[in-house]
Structure formats: C-alpha cells, structure tokens
Amino acid sequence: MNEELANDSWRHALAFYDTLQGPQWGHIPGFRRLVSAIGRSVEARGLTAVTSHEILLVSPYTKYPDWFDGRHVRLVPLADGQVRVERYPAGSQLGAAETWTATIEDVQAGALRAIGEL
C-alpha cells in the first residue's frame, strides 16, 4: 500500500468521518480506518471518494451527478460493526449488481476488488 492518500477527495472523506462523534457513531472509527486503508491503495488511484453521512461512494467520476449516476461502489458501515458493499457497474439506475455484508476486518479485500473493477 502507498503511504499517501489517492487524492484530496479521500482526505475530505476522512475529515468528515472525524466529525461523527458520540455514542450513535461508535462504529465509525473502525470504518474510518478501513476508508483510510482503501484510500491509500493502488486501486483507489484516480477514483473519487464522496460521503453522504456515513456512506462512502467511490467513483471514477469527479462531479455530481456523474459519480452517482455512473458506475460506482458504495460502502455502508452498519452499527453492528459490519460493512455492506454495493457494486453498481452500470450506475444507480439499474441497481446494485452485487451486494454483500462482512465485518470491517473481512471486507477490505472484497472492497478493493470491487473498486478495482471501476
């Protein structure tokens, strides 16, 4: 893994997760570590990270609505410490082609594979 984040969008996402504090956000520190690791990966190079509350959307596009309407991957942290990964290879209009849920510890490899296919 590379030491540096892929680009500023990943820095902004991590900074946003730093603001989510309190008992209702107890699952966010683990998710933030996952996002940081993914943002430093080779697979993240050239991809944009966008947050919508706690959801992370990863896209090859740099602006709305392209990053939402076009192909993308969503990482959704769940309060029980798991993460749901949703892969949208044809954009949001056609729905997720693949969805799975795993623990934060187990989801990284699959998430990297999914964003690597963007």
The C-alpha atoms of residue 118 and residue 114 are separated, in whole angstroms, by 7
Is residue 2 in a domain? Answer: no
Is residue 54 in a domain? Answer: yes
Is residue 1 in a domain? Answer: no
Is residue 72 in a domain? Answer: yes
Q: How far is CA 105 from CA 52, 54, 111, in A?
A: 22, 18, 11
- pLDDT at residue number 2: 46
* Band (64; pLDDT cuts 50, 70, 90): confident
Helix (H) or strand (E) holding 82: strand 82-88
Say how many CA atoms lie within 13 Å of 67 toward its Cβ.
Answer: 19
Is residue 3 in a domain? Answer: no
Q: Which of 44, 42, 94 lies closest to 68 in space, CA to CA?
A: 94
Mean pLDDT for the chain? 91
Give this prediction's pTM.
0.90
Is residue 101 in a domain? Answer: yes
Is residue 31 in a domain? Answer: yes
The answer, yes or no, to whether residue 63 has pLDDT greater than 60, is yes
- pLDDT at residue number 97: 86
Task: Count up the domains in the chain and report the number.
Answer: 1
- pLDDT at residue number 113: 95
- pLDDT at residue number 32: 96
Alpha helix segments (H runs only) across the chain: 8-19, 28-39, 66-69, 104-116
Which residues constitute the domain of residue 17? Answer: 8-116
